[in-house]
């Protein structure tokens, strides 16, 4: 018997993940972004990562058509950043400090890590589109991670 959406959501909520903000440029040149917890490394050689874009979210079509994207891994002090980019608002970048990356990617300041990627492949995945990217540049620094678990944001405690 297949589980329903609420059962899947509840079960997946038991898996703690990091929190990221993915950015890109729409074909119009407008910067787009969304908060994402479905991010993973795929390969070290070649360097590949993936993330999943939910259909029906405002900037979905811009991400589906983009040639490049950047994944920003958030640190524990960036709860407001995660919440801001999770909102369904038009001008997500008003008042947000950015710099320009590869192919004009809008890059957020002060993240734990940033992966600038060229789209390698898009794979249909039910109500999501899986975007695999070849990492073209990476920046990282030591920082306590922001974690998503059970529908809430928090921090990591080592044992």
Q: Which pLDDT tens digit goes with each residue over 50-73?
A: 999 999 888 999 999 999 999 999
Does residue 107 register a pLDDT over 80?
Answer: yes
Q: Do residues 106 and 93 touch, judged by C-beta distance below 8 A?
A: yes
Question: CA 73 → CA 24, 70, 126, distances in Å?
Answer: 15, 10, 25
Confidence of residue 6 (pLDDT cuts 50, 70, 90): confident
pTM (two decimals): 0.94
Give me the domains of the chain, ranges plus CATH numbers. 21-67+107-148 (2.30.110.10)
Cα separation, 137 vs 103, whole angstroms: 12
CA quadruple 19, 104, 25, 84: dihedral sign: positive
pLDDT of residue 111: 97
pLDDT of residue 112: 97
Task: Supply angle C-alpha 127, 47, 70, rounded to 5.
Answer: 55
pLDDT of residue 158: 85
Confidence of residue 23 (pLDDT cuts 50, 70, 90): very high
Cα separation, 71 vs 18, whole angstroms: 12
């Amino acid at each position: 018997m297949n589980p329903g959406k609420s059962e899947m959501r509840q079960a997946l909520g038991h898996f703690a993940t990091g929190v990221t903000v993915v950015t890109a440029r729409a074909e119009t040149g407008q910067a787009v972004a969304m908060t994402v917890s479905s991010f993973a490394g795929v390969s070290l050689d070649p360097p590949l990562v993936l993330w999943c874009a939910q259909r029906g979210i405002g900037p979905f079509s811009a991400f589906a058509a983009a040639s490049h994207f950047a994944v920003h891994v958030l640190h524990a002090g960036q709860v407001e950043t995660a919440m801001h980019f999770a909102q369904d608002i038009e001008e997500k970048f008003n008042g947000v400090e950015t710099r320009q990356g590869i192919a004009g990617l809008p890059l957020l300041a002060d993240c734990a890590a940033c992966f600038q990627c060229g789209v390698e492949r898009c794979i249909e995945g039910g109500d999501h589109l899986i975007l695999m990217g070849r990492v073209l540049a990476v920046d990282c620094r030591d920082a306590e991670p922001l974690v998503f678990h059970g529908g809430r944001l928090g921090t990591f405690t080592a044992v």
